[in-house]
Amino acid sequence: MKKPKLIAVDMDGTLLNERSELTERTEKALHNAIADGIKVVVATGRMYPSALPFVKRLGTDAPCIFYNGAIVRNPVTKEIYYERGLGEETTADILSLYKDNNWYVQTYFDDKLYVVDDKDERCKYYESISRMKAVPLGEEFWRFGVDSTKMLGIAFDPEEYSAMTKATTDELSGRVYAATSWGSFIEMVHPDVNKAKALESVATMLGIAREDVMAFGDGSNDKEMLLWAGTGVAMGNACDKVLAVADIVAPSNDDDGIAVIVEELLR
């Protein structure tokens, strides 16, 4: 297995275990990779302030990827290298679609999370994962005229989730990049945004060739990134779409899959 110059890691389901924890073993392995001269880039769908505590623990000074690639930002200097929102018109159309169908959706703007009702169980569930507090707007939420960085629909009922996902991809085709996660989320960003494009820009900034990049992931929003990287590593817990494109399958996130591979690279 060739030692890469850059390692990109998804967060939820990859870097973090099923309890949303960064284990000591995985943290140490990535510290050792950085000490060995390998750049470590976090590539997550999470918002910047939600991901930042974990990014800081890794000690990386490389640009990292947030909101599925809608923002590329340095976690040390806080400099933003790239930012692309959905646009006010698309934001408004997503709000209209979800309101008309009585579906739950939340929006991200200026590194804050906005919802109708922060007491909603779907909001509470997301808050428990992200460790972020939502800003409730009440019915004004549906008229929130901003250029959203990202929007996220949540449905716990499988039939509702299926209908929501189909309508989102059908009615907003070409206007959003949509990815499913957690078995109940549909994440929406600008169609020009994904983790692969963001990772390519980071690698270019750092002067690192595609073949010298290794990317780890588990969810559908990681597929393009694993395909783009010189070496794509799927976690043992990854969805079928990601497993199908991987060059290597690591142990699961609960079995320190990243650490197992990185430790082998550094031997």
Structure confidence by residue, pLDDT tens digits, 148-173: 999 999 999 999 999 999 999 999 99
Q: pLDDT at residue 77 above 90?
A: yes
Q: Burial level of 20, CB count in 10 A (0-12/13-18/19+)?
A: middle
pLDDT at 183: 86
Q: What mean pLDDT is predicted for residues 72-79?
A: 96
The average confidence (pLDDT) of the chain is: 96
Calpha distance 161→167 (Å, rounded): 10
> pLDDT-based confidence at 181, cuts 50/70/90?
confident
147 labelled catalytic: no
Provide the 8-state DSSP code for 221: G
Active-site hit among 10, 12, 222, 256? 10
Residue 136 binned pLDDT confidence (cut-offs 50, 70, 90): very high
pLDDT digits (tens, 9 = 90+) for 198-220: 999 999 999 999 999 999 999 99
Model pTM greater than 0.75?
A: yes
Phi, psi (5° rounding) for residue 112? -125, 155
What integer is the mean pLDDT of 127-145?
95
| Burial environment of residue 227 by CB neighbours within 10 A (0 to 12, 13 to 18, 19 or more) | middle
pLDDT in tens, 14-61: 999 999 999 999 999 999 999 999 999 999 999 999 999 999 999 999
For residue 70, name the pLDDT band (cuts at 50, 70, 90): very high
Assign 224 a pLDDT band (cuts: 50, 70, 90). very high
Average pLDDT over residues 181-186: 90
Domains of the chain with CATH codes: 6-83+193-265 (3.40.50.1000), 88-189 (3.30.1240.10)
Q: Parallel, antiparallel, or unpaired: how do β-strands 64-66 and 248-249 relate?
A: unpaired
